[in-house]
Structure formats: C-alpha cells, structure tokens
Structure 1
C-alpha cells in the first residue's frame, strides 16, 4: 500500500474516532442551518436537567458524508456585565505655563465619560493632576483637583497608577493639568466610559412544600421549582410583622441515595447570610442547576419567622459558535464528567461580531450508540463500514509501529 493510501485510511480513522466521540453523549438536538460564520444559540431551559453543574458537557458537531468535525463555541450568559467603552477623541492642545503642563482632549461630541487613562514616556514620577471640562473652551468646570498619579520602575519594583476616575460627566472638551512640572511627554491617552450593562433575568416559579422546626429552634423550609433550572438569585419573602435579624443558609438538593430505610439526601450550599427586617432579603450566588431547595434559619431564642414564598431567578445561557463548513449540525450534551472544551476562538473574543443571528434548536433526541446522526446514505450509515475502516486503520498503524521497531533494531 503506497503512502497516499495510508494517509487516506489514517484520515478516515481519525474521522471515525470523532464520530465515535459524538456518541459518548446522551442527547442531541439538531441546530438550524447557519447562514453566516457566527451565530448565537440559546440553550433551552429543559436541557439543564441533563447537563452537569459546570455546563462543560456540550459539543457542537458538524456531520457530512465524508467527516464529522467539532464546531468551536464560547459560553455566555445574559448576566449584567461591566464594560469599558473607549471613545474617539483627538489631542487638540498641549501647552505649558507656570502652573504646569496642559493636555486638552476633544471628543467628537459631548458624551458621557468617567475615566481617562494616561500613559507617559516618563517611568518614574509622582504628580498631582487637575481635570477640567467644558463645552465651549471658555467656561471650565473642575472635576478633579490634586489627584495623584504615580509611576515607579526600577530593578525591584514596577508600578504605575495613572487612571483618572471621576463622576460621570458629559462634555466635549477635557483638560488635564499636570501641576508644577517642567516636562511631561504623553505617549497615549484613552477616554472611557465605564458602565454596567443590565442583564436579563428569567423567573422560575417555586412552591413551598414543607416547613418544620427542629429541637434546636432551627426553621427548615423546603421549596421546589416546577422544573430543573439554572438559578443565581433568590428573594426570600418574610411575612412576620416584627423586627428580626437571623442567620440563614440556603441549600439545594445535590444528590440522593436510596438505602434500605429510605432515601438519604445530600444538600450543598447556595448562599449564607442574614435575614434582616430592614432589607428586602435578596441574595445572589454563582449560577447553579437545581430543582429543590432547603432554607435553614437559625432562630436562637426567638420566635420562628413566617416564610411566605421564594422569588427565584437566573440568567439565560447561550453559545456563540463559529461555522466554517457546510454540514448538518447537532448540539450533543449529557456527559457527567466531561471537561470544558478548549478552542482557539477564546483568544480572539474581540473579533466576534456584536450583532448575531440566533439559530434555533430542535427537539431533544436520545442518542443511541452506533446510530447515524444523519439519516442519509453516507459512509458512516453502515456499521459494517465503520468496523472495516477501524480494523484496516489499526492494521496500518500496527504495521507502522513494527516497521519503526525493526528499523531501530
């Protein structure tokens, strides 16, 4: 067999292994055909009961007549995000007088900013800054005064703090005065707006199923959501008409084991804190998949509280996927100990378009081992072909190994 044929069989062997990996997952959903390179895929809430806590057991596969390949994606959620937005500007003036050195920046128009980052050629300094703003360069308003910026660079220490933080303001011109110095060379500046983009919350109905008080005056309140959900926020509604301040622990049912005398339940902590009559008793925690919860309230010597209900919510999870080939695409999931995938696109997040079209997911299908992903006459539809390819590839690779051993001998 010549070298070209050997490489062809080796390629088919690798393709068959990728196909086999797909069938190690429990479920699949067909993905709507992409119309662009990048798309957004919203996860369906009913998928969470089949996913592990890290959401690491998901893969997108593209299946064609000749091969099966993975599609790279990134996990995102609709949680609130902290964003630094760089604004376009120009340095229109750089002057000097007995007060120091002035740098004047002009925005394209009056925009809200709250940060200015300054990079100087100098590496060792300890300067005081005055920041003024104006819309006409005639009447100036002071935003910062005697604001300290520092840079130290030597063999032992490298440190720099040269960001100006101030209350959000909306002007077209900003003037930075570096006080009482003769020389300051500005290498680069950035005018920014720091803001928090509000996320999208999804509410999940829940019902209190049982309440009890232990001998140690600890209140236990059990609640259950209609469906397994991914939650990150809970509001505990207390209807007691007196002041209170009670430590608590909120847990979720993580596992259960059936024993001869019944079930043994294992709970894991969602959040701990204090229920306080002067607050709204809303608490956040890392996103967690669960259905049943247990609230532990430590009453001490006090009258137990009346817990009326829980308002439970979480964020929407979605994938940002890049498609480069034509194929039939599937989202495979459900593999408890699977690791998070690693893709190159993680290093190039800035290249992902901001506006993406969403692709819908089809109905959930149980994956049956050795069942073809696409119901078409393809190379992998016949299980006999798979076995033949794998056996031939193993024989070829075994031959390569023997040849290498003989040449070493």
Structure 2
C-alpha cells in the first residue's frame, strides 16, 4: 500500500516538475513585406492547424536595428466580425448667435442610433467649450453633454485636437451644438453608420465521409476529417431522403485517443446540437473557437428510418491579424498549441483602426524557444509545489508508522 501510494505521488510530482521544462518549443514564421504603420496578415490553414483554438498563444515580435526584441500588439478579426462603415453627412439647418455663444441646429437620421459625431471647423487654431443637445421636435431639448471641448489648437510646444464626440448612443432627429468660440465656423458634421456584411468563408477539404447506423440506439453516425485541426463555422448537408423529417443532430470533435486492452478509445467532445428539418435550410452556422481534425455527426433517428447524407461541405471564417509597427526591423510571428491569449489596449479601440493597410506575407518557417514567462505548467506556484511535497511526505510517513505499529502488535 505504501509503495503503491508513494509511486503514484512520485509520478504526479515528476509530471508537474517536468512541465516546467518541456513543451518550450513553438512554431514561428518570418513576416515579409512589412511597412512602418498598420499591416494585416490573413491566417491561413497552416497557421491555424498549429493552434488548438483561435484564442490560444500567438505573439508578434520585431527585432529592430538596435537588436532589441519588441512585442507588437495586435488584434485578430474574423470575417464574421467584419462590418462595412460609411461616413454620413449631417445637415446644418440653422445658425444663430446668442449671449456670446454660437448655436448650430443639425438634422440627422432619426432611425439610426448615432454613436459618434465628427465636426470640422474653418479655423485650425480655435479650441473652446461646447455643449450638445438633442430633440425630436425642436421645442423640447435634452442635454447630452455640457462639458465638451471642441476644436484644434497648435503652438510650438504641442498640438491639441478634439473634433469627434464618441460613445453618444443617441437617437434624435435634431441636434443643437453651442460653441463659446464665436470666431470659429462649423463647416461640416459627419457620423458613421455600420452595415453588417455577409461573412466570408474559406472552404475546407473534407476527407472521406463514412457512416454506420446503430439500430440498437436508433441513431446514424457520420465521421469525417479535415487536413488538420481547423474550426468549422458553416456546414452544408445534402440530405438525399425525399420524405419529411425532423431530427436532433449532435456535432462532436475528437479531443484525443487512448489505447486500451480492448482497442483504441476515442474521446469526443460535444460541440453543437441542432435540428435537421425538411422544411428548413440544411445549412448551419457555428461559432465554436476550438480546432479539431476529426469530427463526428450523430443523427438521432428515433423510430423513423435513417437519414442519408449524400454530401457534406464545410467552411471556416477568414481570420485577419492587424498590427501596427512603429519601428523597422525583422519581424516574425510565433504560435503555440496551448498557452494564454495575450490582450492589448488596442483591442478596445478597434473602431479606430484604419481599413486600408499594407498586406504582410508569411516567410520561412522557424523553430523558436519560448521564454519561461510564456510557459504555463500546471503548477506554477513554487510554494504550492512544496506544500504538495510536504503533504506527500506526511502521508507516506503516516502509513509507514501505521504498518510498523501493526508489525509490533503481531
């Protein structure tokens, strides 16, 4: 008993200690065609296959001319998130001066929630206090903000520019802007309107579709695989049966396989549950982030005849990585199967990222070392590791003393 327990504890601790020093290899690629400023990179299948999820470890690095290695903040956008944004002009319908202030009445689309207003002034060296009100009838006005600072001022030491009001989230037909600077003239006003665009998909290579019907459990099981670990975001099923049907379907992804005495056991994870209905479209949209190579579709037949899938077509979203390089040098991207996904401030300002930018290219494949700070063993706290070791010693000691006492009694 003591030997068995000791052996289990030693194996457990060895695995945790070993996790501190292993799995420190990562796949890297050189980044080519980089320009100073904003750059974008489409994540292809080869890159995605190296990750267990789109939310896994990715780092972009730049080695500048001083041989310093800089971490480059980035964001990843999928084609599902890509929307079209246009600037719509706001009409200036009236202008008055009263009590030393200049008032402008603006008319906007009352059916569109306005999140920001961008103002353009005639003078480039005027900065003053302003307030903004909203109304739907020009009789009753509601204060939106009375502590605005609008305009632009520049001298030999600094430049101050404040021409856009963000995070309004208002729905009015009329707006009234008041300016304390009566010398500056308001020339134009715009707001942005976002249109949701149909997502772009990349077709995946689906390998041989195999199936079998389990009559005892009244279900049909289809298995198929991709060229590597990739997500599925859009699935088209060609059902060949001509009769009406309504079936519950479960989509699984293969996590791993273990060898047993009875053979290989496949461990699947349930990803999605959906309905197959003859009255509806057999095209299905998914949003799970995990990547799998082998998939399984289980159709619950009940007492009805099995359904026959003649053809299965799978797609994934396009993923675009956007990064800004403020320095010149040699850049590379590195990915890892597991690890924490880094978050940067840039993620909170996606709306300010320009749409037009340089297109980066993947270069040669690299083998890179990950720093200790990027390695995440199961037990990262050394104090916790020592506590586990002390507990193991106490448990082993307790059972050893217990066995000695039993031997003495005999």
- The whole-number CA distance in structure 2 between the counterparts of 1:122 and 1:193 is 20
Q: Which residue of 1 aligns with 2:271?
A: 270
- Is contact 1:61–1:70 with CA below 8 Å preserved after alignment? yes
For residues 332 and 84 of structure 2, the distance between their equivalents in structure 1, rounded to whole angstroms, comes to 33
In 2, are the aligned partners of 1:113 and 1:194 still within 8 Å (CA)? Answer: no
Q: Give 2:313's aligned residue.
A: 311
Residue 50 (structure 1) shift: 1.6
SS at match of 2:361: coil
Q: How does 1:107-118 map to 2 (within 5 A)?
A: 114-115=111-112, 117=114
Contact 2:25 2:367 in 1 (8 A): no
Contact 2:252 2:296 in 1 (8 A): yes
Q: Secondary structure at the match of 1:348?
A: helix
Structure 1 residues 269 and 263, CA gap change in structure 2 (3 angstroms):
same
Give the root-mean-square deviation of aligned CA atoms: 3.8
**1:236 alignment partner in structure 2:** 237
Deviation at 1:296, TM superposition (A): 0.9
Contact 1:116 1:192 in 2 (8 A): no
Q: TM-score, normalised by structure 1?
A: 0.61
2:88 matched to 1:87? Answer: yes
CA distance in 1, matches of 2:115, 2:46: 49
CA distance in 2, matches of 1:321, 1:121: 35
Compared with structure 1, are the counterparts of its residues 228 and 335 closer, same or farther at alpha carbon in structure 2 (3 Å cutoff)? Answer: closer
Paired position in structure 2 for 1:142: none
1:88 Cα deviation after fit: 1.7
Q: 1-side partners of 2:319 and 2:81: how far apart? A: 12
Q: Secondary structure at the match of 1:361?
A: strand
Write the distance in 2 (CA, Å) between the matches of 1:326 and 1:320: 16
Shift of 1:274: 0.9
The alpha-carbon deviation at position 305 of structure 1 amounts to 0.7
TM-score when normalising by structure 2: 0.61
CA shift at 1:113, angstroms?
Answer: 9.0
Give structure 2 stretches of 5+ with no counterpart: 1-20, 96-103, 117-130, 144-167, 179-188, 372-410
Report the alpha carbon displacement of residue 315 of structure 1 after superposing the two structures with TM.
1.2
- Structure 2 Cα separation of the partners of residues 253 and 150 of structure 1: 57
Q: Structure 1 residues 24 and 60 mapped into 2: Cα distance closer, same or farther (>3 Å)?
A: farther
Q: Is the 8 A contact 1:207 1:309 kept in 2?
A: no
Q: Is the 8 A contact 2:26 2:370 kept in 1?
A: no
- Determine the C-alpha separation between the residues in 2 that align with 1:68 and 1:291: 34
Matched-pair contact (CA < 8 Å) for 2:40–2:357: yes
DSSP 3-state at the match of 2:56: coil
Aligned to 1:290: 292
Deviation at 1:105, TM superposition (A): 5.3
Give the Cα separation in 1 of the matches to 2:35 and 2:347: 22
Instruction: Tell me if structure 1 keeps the 8 A contact 2:213–2:221.
Output: yes
Q: SS at 2:312's partner residue?
A: strand
CA contact (8 A) 2:25 2:368 kept: yes
Which position in structure 1 is the counterpart of 2:60?
Answer: 60
Hey, what does 2:357 align to over in structure 1? 356
Aligned to 2:37: 37
Aligned mates of 1:253, 1:275 — CA distance in 2: 22
Report Cα offsets for 1:273-331 as digits up to 9, x if no partner. 11011122111111432221111111111001111121100111121111122322111
Within the alignment, does 1:163 sit opposite 2:171 as a pair?
yes
Q: Secondary structure at the match of 2:232?
A: strand
For 2:297 and 2:142, how far apart are their aligned partners in 1? 49
The answer to whether the 8 Å contact 1:236/1:282 transfers is yes
**C-alpha distance after superposition, 1:363-407 (max 9, x if no partner):** 32333689xxxxxxxxxxxxxxxxxxxxxxxxxxxxxxxxxxxxx
Measure, in 1, the Cα distance between the counterparts of 2:308 and 2:59.
Answer: 45
